[in-house]
Structures are given as structure tokens and as C-alpha cells.
């Protein structure tokens, strides 16, 4: 919940010259508050930077005051939607079941869900990280049939590393992302598992991005605070292009 719609144009004008033409192979997107989506679509239109929302309703329409449906996002031209972020789970009571419903609703509309999974500090310290993450992935993908026209992304975001400045070591992050890919392989097959992007989302910044992104099963980042500064965000994008 940062920046205003009136900030988007100046943000885009500062960011885009730092990542000219997206000459590399990586993809990038900004996921803004609902109030800034229209401004972001205009500011980044034709640039190669996608636009996503930070949440959506599992319902298509109806008496759900304050909610925003996937079809409303799709109508705007939004391409991505973050689903199951730890703050949505922790502050607003979202469960594995509601996350799954949102994933299915997004994919039905060909919106690409960025599915967030991750463990708490207590869960990590008790040695159940892989069990927790595997359960979240299995629940999120229940009933999903992924193909090239219905992409999905999974973001590993250890809850203890979000907004704290703490970061999993590259080796620890790689181990969990490798486990995520193994779970996807069991559910959806090897070909889809190889092609599904897996992101790391625990305080990745311009200082640690290169080392994290060098790991075999870390395909990108779900960037929080570092994305608020165009220079830092551009440095992460450029690290992903190495």
C-alpha cells in the first residue's frame, strides 16, 4: 500500500530509461494498488513492463462490497495478479482454500496468478519448512491444469524475511525453490515444472539479487520495498538479465 496514482507517471519515466528496450530475456511487471492500475497501464503501455494487481476476489460478481473480480481486472488490461501473499493470509484470514479458489478464478480468465507460499520463523526453526511449503503449493494448484495459454508463477516468500531486511541464504532459498519445483513436477508433470517460473520474495534487493538469481531454481524475484525506488528495481531487473 505504497505510492499514489499520481506518482505512477514519474516513477515510470525514471524506471524505463534504466532498463532500455528490455533487450534481455527476463520479464518484469509492477503490481500496484487497485487505485493505480489504470495509471500504470497507461504509463507502462508498450514498454514491455507488465501490470498486475495485488489481490482479487474468488467470486466473479455479486454482493461482495469492496471486492474486485478477476473479470474487472481483465477488462482493464491487467496481466498478473498476486494471490495468497503472506500479508493477505496473516492480516485478512486468507486460507489455502481461498487461495486455491482465487488461482482457479484467475486462470479461468487467463490472468497469470503469482502464487505466494512460505513458512513462518517458528515453522523454519522446527524443521517443517518443506512440509508447509509443499502443502501450500499442493493446495493452491488443486484442480489446476496448466498449459501454455494458462501460465502461473510461484513465489517463495519466507514470512520471516518479508520487510525485515533478513534474507534466506542463496543456498537455503535454492533448496526450498527446488522442493517447490519437485512438488509441481509431481502434480503437473516435468515439462510444466521446468517452464513454471519460481520466484524468491524475501527481501531481495539490488545488493543480493545477483547471487540469489544465480541459483538454478530461482527464476526471478517478488520485490517488495526495493521496487519503490526505480534505481534499485532497475538494478534487480538488470541482475536477472545476466
Residue 50 is classified by DSSP as E
With respect to residue 93, please indicate whether it lies within any of the assigned structural domains. Answer: yes
pLDDT at 23: 57
Would you state the pLDDT for residue 148? 59
For residue 150, tell me if it sits in a domain.
yes
Which residue among 85, 87, 119, 179 is the active-site one? 85
Is pTM beyond 0.75? Reply is yes
pLDDT at 20: 77
Among residues 87, 94, 119, 157, the one annotated as catalytic is 157
Q: Is 193 part of a structural domain of the chain?
A: yes
Those residues whose C-beta lies under 8 Å from the C-beta of residue 95, and which sit 6 or more positions away, are: 89
Rg, C-alpha atoms of the chain: 17
Is 58 a catalytic site residue? no
Whether 236 is covered by a domain: the verdict is no
Is 14 part of any domain? no
- Is 237 contained in some domain? no
- The whole-number pLDDT of residue 145 equals 81
Flag whether 19 is in a domain: no
Beta bridge partners, 32, equal 53
3-state helix, strand, coil in the chain (%, to 5): 50, 10, 40
Helix (H) or strand (E) holding 93: none
Task: Look at residue 123 and tell me if it is in a domain.
Answer: yes
Q: Alpha-carbon distance 144 to 156, whole Å?
A: 19
Please name the residue ranges forming H helices in the chain.
Answer: 8-15, 37-44, 70-76, 86-92, 96-108, 121-125, 129-140, 170-188, 190-195, 209-213, 230-240
In order along its 242 residues, the chain shows pLDDT tens digits of: 999 999 999 999 999 999 876 656 789 999 999 999 999 999 999 998 999 999 999 999 999 999 999 999 999 999 999 999 999 999 999 999 999 999 999 999 999 999 999 999 899 989 999 999 999 999 999 999 877 556 899 999 999 887 777 778 999 999 999 999 999 999 999 999 999 999 999 889 999 999 999 999 999 999 999 999 999 999 999 999 88
CA nearest 233: which of 200, 199, 203, 206? Answer: 206
Query: Which CATH number belongs to the domain containing residue 88 in this structure?
Result: 3.20.20.70
Q: How many domains are contained in the chain?
A: 1
Cα–Cα distance measured from residue 173 to residue 167, given in angstroms and rounded to the nearest whole number: 9
Does the annotation mark 94 as catalytic?
no
pLDDT at residue 143, as a whole number: 94
What pLDDT is stored for residue 185 in this prediction? 95
Structural domain of 201: 28-58+66-227
All three cell numbers of 62: 455479486
Amino acid at each position: 500500500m505504497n505510492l499514489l496514482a499520481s506518482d505512477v507517471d514519474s516513477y515510470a519515466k525514471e524506471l524505463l530509461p534504466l532498463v532500455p528496450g528490455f533487450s534481455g530475456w527476463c520479464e518484469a511487471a509492477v503490481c500496484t494498488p487497485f487505485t493505480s492500475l489504470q495509471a500504470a497501464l497507461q504509463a507502462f503501455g508498450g514498454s514491455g513492463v507488465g501490470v498486475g494487481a495485488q489481490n482479487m476476489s474468488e467470486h466473479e460478481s455479486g454482493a461482495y462490497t469492496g471486492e474486485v473480480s478477476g473479470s474487472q481486472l481483465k477488462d482493464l488490461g491487467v496481466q498478473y495478479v498476486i494471490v495468497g501473499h503472506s500479508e493477505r493470509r496473516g492480516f485478512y484470514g486468507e486460507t489455502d482454500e481461498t487461495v486455491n479458489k482465487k488461482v482457479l478464478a484467475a486462470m479461468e480468465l487467463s490472468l497469470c496468478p503469482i502464487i505466494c507460499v512460505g513458512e513462518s520463523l517458528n515453522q523454519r526453526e522446527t524443521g517443517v519448512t518443506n512440509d508447509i511449503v509443499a502443502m501450500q503449493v499442493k493446495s493452491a494448484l488443486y484442480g489446476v491444469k496448466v498449459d501454455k495459454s494458462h501460465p502461473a508463477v510461484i513465489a517463495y516468500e519466507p514470512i520471516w524475511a518479508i520487510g525485515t531486511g533478513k534474507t534466506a541464504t542463496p543456498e537455503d532459498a535454492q533448496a526450498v525453490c527446488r522442493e517447490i519445483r519437485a512438488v509441481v513436477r509431481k502434480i503437473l508433470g516435468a515439462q510444466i515444472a521446468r517452464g513454471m517460473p519460481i520466484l524468491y520474495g524475501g527481501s531481495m534487493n539490488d545488493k543480493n539479487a545477483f547471487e540469489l538469481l544465480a541459483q538454478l531454481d530461482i527464476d526471478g524475484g517478488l520485490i517488495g520495498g526495493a521496487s519503490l525506488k526505480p534505481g534499485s528495481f532497475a538494478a534487480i531487473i538488470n541482475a536477472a538479465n545476466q
